[in-house]
Amino acid sequence: MSMLRKINDIDLKLLRIFQTVADCGGFSAAESQLNIARSTISTHMADLESRLGLTLCQRGRAGFALTEEGKTVYDAVQALFGALDLFRREVNGLHDQVTGELNIICSDAIVSDPRFKLTETLARFCEQAPDVVINISTNSLPEMEQALIDGRADICFAPRHRDLSSVKYTPLYSEDYFLYCHKRHPLFDADEASLSDERLAASPFIHPGIQTVGQASLAMEGLRRSANAYIYEVRMALVATGHFIGFFPSHYVQPWLTRGEMRALCPATRHYAVDIAALTRRAGAQDKVLALFQRQLATAYNL
């Protein structure tokens, strides 16, 4: 069996190709990302599997899928490149000029909140660090936390549903969440006084799919969990069927309320507030790029 005794530049190149193929879900989808032909990708993947002595993926009529070994290697690759990126940023931080990359991940729909001052913060940041490459994406809370821990993200913005010991949470503002139904739902025209816990429990409920605590858990108590959806857009698609009820942040659902297409159910009791927070790593040296961005963020929120 082949063993990978040391990692060289060729190995890193092949591992990056593997990472892209896994992220894209197959060879064909990775062609445009890598800008190389599918046959070349296949050759590189075969070379990597030979070097590792492992079968990383299965491809055929059933489609592309990582093997169990492939999943383990993929996780290790994520950690490896996260560590390399962290090393690069810490070394760059030793120089006076602010250069490098800033990796930001935002929770779903947070950018549409007028109280979220990312644009204002980035405007000031870009004036002082025009050479920094900014990478922004969206993801779920668990994925954001893992990206921070692995070094793939510098700062994330998300509702503060829980605290991890390795992550620092800086509250920015509070967001109100209410339980809503669509106008197609049988409860849409119901009198508020008739909305008992039993009637609510009879309706299929969309859970956010993450661990909830405190006010959020109390607000969801007794509801019949029939679907899981973290992303608000997907959650809204389910609610719009008229079969489900679910929680949304008040700013997100406002357009539907204005059009008379949705209503809040038992807002006095089925309600909770969550801090929208900036998430950063607790451990490790902070590079100048992130430090500058955090100063601009603190200015925007008077922190």
Backbone φ and ψ for 53, nearest 5 degrees, come out as 70, 30
User: How high does pLDDT run on average in the chain?
Assistant: 88
Backbone φ and ψ for 237, nearest 5 degrees, come out as -60, -35
Q: How far apart are CA 296 and CA 290, in angstroms?
A: 10
What is the pLDDT at residue 111?
87
Residue recorded with tokens 């920094």: 132
pTM listed for this prediction: 0.66
Q: Which class would CATH give 98-172+276-301?
A: alpha beta
Closest CA to 168 of 254, 282, 64, 69: 282
The topology (CATH level 3) of 9-78 is Arc Repressor Mutant, subunit A (1.10.10)
Q: Where are the domains of the chain?
A: 9-78, 98-172+276-301, 174-275
Residues 151 and 118: beta-carbon distance below 8 Å: no
What are the beta bridge partners of residue 205? 225, 245
Q: How far apart are CA 290 and CA 276, in angstroms?
A: 19
| DSSP type of residue 196 | -
What is the pLDDT at residue 112?
86
Domains 9-78 and 98-172+276-301 share a fold: no
At residue 285 the predicted structure's pLDDT band, cuts being 50, 70 and 90, is low
Is residue 65 over pLDDT 50? Answer: yes
Assigned token pair, 294:
């955090």
Angle, CA of 183, 269 and 224, to the nearest 5°: 65
Architecture of the structural domain at 174-275: 3-Layer(aba) Sandwich (3.40)
At residue 259 the predicted structure's pLDDT band, cuts being 50, 70 and 90, is very high
What is the pLDDT at residue 299?
94
Closest CA to 226 of 198, 210, 246: 246
